[in-house]
Structure 1
Amino acid sequence: MINKESLLTVKNIYLSFGGIMAVAGVSFNVNKGDVFSIIGPNGAGKTSILNTITGIYFPERGSIFLKGADITKMPVYKRPAKGVVRTFQNLELFKGMTVLDNLMLSRHSLMNYGIFSSIFYFGKPLREEVRHREKVEEIIDFLDLSGIRKKHVFELSYGLQKRVELARALALEPELLLLDEPMAGMNTEETEDMARYIIDINEERDTTIVLIEHDMNVVMDISSRILAIDFGEKICEGLPSDVANDERVLSAYLGEEKWI
């Protein structure tokens, strides 16, 4: 088997809140092109791991490497420029703005002109605006959002808002996309659609994905590898078929039913 390029390496990270150990010595590697899923019971530490990767929290011990470079203490606002972008469990959209405006706003860090140039809307600022608008329109088409592009976010169903949240993340052109429960609260049809979009993002846009999700049918169907954690500790890592049949995972999370 050909070894793929390593994109993200997490080495022995620890994170605690007061007397509670949220993450206890977790290590894993995400290869370029993977859909890497993290599973575990509620409160197991899954989102805390994502928060260390994105820089919301710095681990108390351990290291995080992106393409071999140490980003453990890199400020959160610098990580999108390195290709690390995420979505959130709770929607982080401007609901009083349109879908199009939300996506354009998300690209502000990629815009290459100063505040004084922007006052005069011609020349470089105008060219930049057109370029970013083209990128946003391409994402809108990719995620089938054309029919709602001018609608305000508060007008949309929850499932569509989740898709807009995904589009907002894609607008930053991530190399590593971290998805925190993207199917939460969705019905069956919306879940199937979101799973298809995740696969398309991975395959067609060459985006590596780290996924937290409770729908085990989806996780087992679309994941390259899976990490299972419980009480902040790693209990198993491997192929979906291996994880689904691991006795520690069955005991901690999946119960008696085997998914494969």
Structure 2
Amino acid sequence: MEKKPLLNVDNIYLSFGGIQAIAGVRFQVYEGEIFSIIGPNGAGKTSILNTITGIYPPTKGKIIYDGADITAAPVHKRPQMGIVRTFQNLELFKGMTVLDNLMLSRHIFIKYGLLSSMLYFGKARKEEIEHRKRVEKVIDFLRLTHIRKKHVYELSYGLQKRVELARALCLEPRLLLLDEPMAGMNSEETEDMARFIIDINEEAGVTVILIEHDMKVVMDISTRVVAVNFGEKICREGTPEEISSHPDVIAAYLGEEQWV
């Protein structure tokens, strides 16, 4: 039996005035993969994530998720479907604690009303306890216990990136989109983040789409890779080994020296 994709990006185009950010990109992502998108700066990688998450509806083409056409689905509905992302630039509330940032991310699951939340009894109290349990599990999973009560602005950049990842996990993703999660990190922080991504994929069963410029990380942790340039696919998606040895990818992105 042919395996059905969790996500099907079907011939999407995206234009901003006279600028075409994406031109006919198509690929499929299967459940349980770590699927990486590589390409030079300005190649359209983040624009692809923006169409998947609904920030920009594609000018043409479709986004199919779990067999359903979500091309026109509102952006705020997609986390409820299990589509969650992180950003290149940190989008945390830096004046709040790590714990408060993570608790805030649980807002899409809140069912109690205004009155019960003001009085904090019954259903509101019970829900709050359940949300706190979920957040504490994520804190333990990403080894953030020692900083859980610290304000985000007190943390190093690498730890802030980990908190951003934790906040995404608190939304209980089925498909997690990571936009350059290792950017600006030192080698030790990069290794830690790569390990966490593998754990999220293997232990939590989350399918991952990764944009990353660190080719060693891409080679080490990806199931399959797609390369893009000027908003177009350079070649058919394949294993890291296949993509790294493709002449068009080497010419457009990797340079004459392949990574090993």
TM-score by length of 1: 0.98
Paired with 1:68 and 1:189, the residues of 2 have a C-alpha distance of 39
Report the Cα offset of residue 4 of structure 1: 4.3
Please give the per-residue CA displacement for 1:163-212, whole angstroms capped at 9, x wherever unaligned.
00000000000000000000000000000000000000000000000000
Task: Give the secondary structure class of the aligned counterpart of 1:58.
Answer: coil
> What does 1:207-222 align with in structure 2 at a 5 Å threshold?
207-222=206-221
* 1:183 equivalent in structure 2: 182
The one-letter code sitting in structure 1 at the alignment partner of 2:242 is D
> What does 1:1-260 align with in structure 2 at a 5 Å threshold?
4-236=3-235, 237-260=237-260
Paired with 1:74 and 1:125, the residues of 2 have a C-alpha distance of 29
The one-letter code sitting in structure 2 at the alignment partner of 1:230 is N
Are the aligned partners of 1:4 and 1:32 in contact in 2 as well (CA < 8 Å)?
no
The one-letter code sitting in structure 2 at the alignment partner of 1:142 is F
Please give the per-residue CA displacement for 1:20-56, whole angstroms capped at 9, x wherever unaligned.
1100000000000000000000000000000000000
Paired with 1:182 and 1:4, the residues of 2 have a C-alpha distance of 29
Paired with 1:3 and 1:216, the residues of 2 have a C-alpha distance of 31
Paired with 1:49 and 1:6, the residues of 2 have a C-alpha distance of 17
Paired with 1:85 and 1:93, the residues of 2 have a C-alpha distance of 15
Paired with 2:10 and 2:63, the residues of 1 have a C-alpha distance of 6
Paired with 1:249 and 1:240, the residues of 2 have a C-alpha distance of 11
Paired with 1:5 and 1:161, the residues of 2 have a C-alpha distance of 36
Paired with 1:45 and 1:59, the residues of 2 have a C-alpha distance of 13
The one-letter code sitting in structure 2 at the alignment partner of 1:183 is M
Please give the per-residue CA displacement for 1:227-255, whole angstroms capped at 9, x wherever unaligned.
10000000121111100000000000000
Q: Percent identity?
A: 71
Aligned Cα RMSD in Å? 0.9
The one-letter code sitting in structure 1 at the alignment partner of 2:239 is L
Report the Cα offset of residue 116 of structure 1: 1.8
Paired with 2:137 and 2:207, the residues of 1 have a C-alpha distance of 19
Report the Cα offset of residue 117 of structure 1: 1.8
Task: Give the secondary structure class of the aligned counterpart of 2:6.
Answer: strand
Report the Cα offset of residue 3 of structure 1: 5.2
The one-letter code sitting in structure 2 at the alignment partner of 1:169 is A
Paired with 1:19 and 1:59, the residues of 2 have a C-alpha distance of 15
The one-letter code sitting in structure 1 at the alignment partner of 2:246 is D
- Structure 1 outlier segments of 4+, above 2 Å: 2-5
Report the Cα offset of residue 112 of structure 1: 1.5
Report the Cα offset of residue 5 of structure 1: 4.2
Task: Give the secondary structure class of the aligned counterpart of 2:176.
Answer: strand
The number of equivalent residue pairs is 259
Task: Give the secondary structure class of the aligned counterpart of 1:226.
Answer: strand
Are the aligned partners of 1:80 and 1:172 in contact in 2 as well (CA < 8 Å)?
yes
Paired with 1:125 and 1:257, the residues of 2 have a C-alpha distance of 58
Please give the per-residue CA displacement for 1:116-154, whole angstroms capped at 9, x wherever unaligned.
221221111000000000000000000000000000000
TM-score by length of 2: 0.98
Are the aligned partners of 1:94 and 1:153 in contact in 2 as well (CA < 8 Å)?
yes
Please give the per-residue CA displacement for 1:87-107, whole angstroms capped at 9, x wherever unaligned.
000000000000000000000
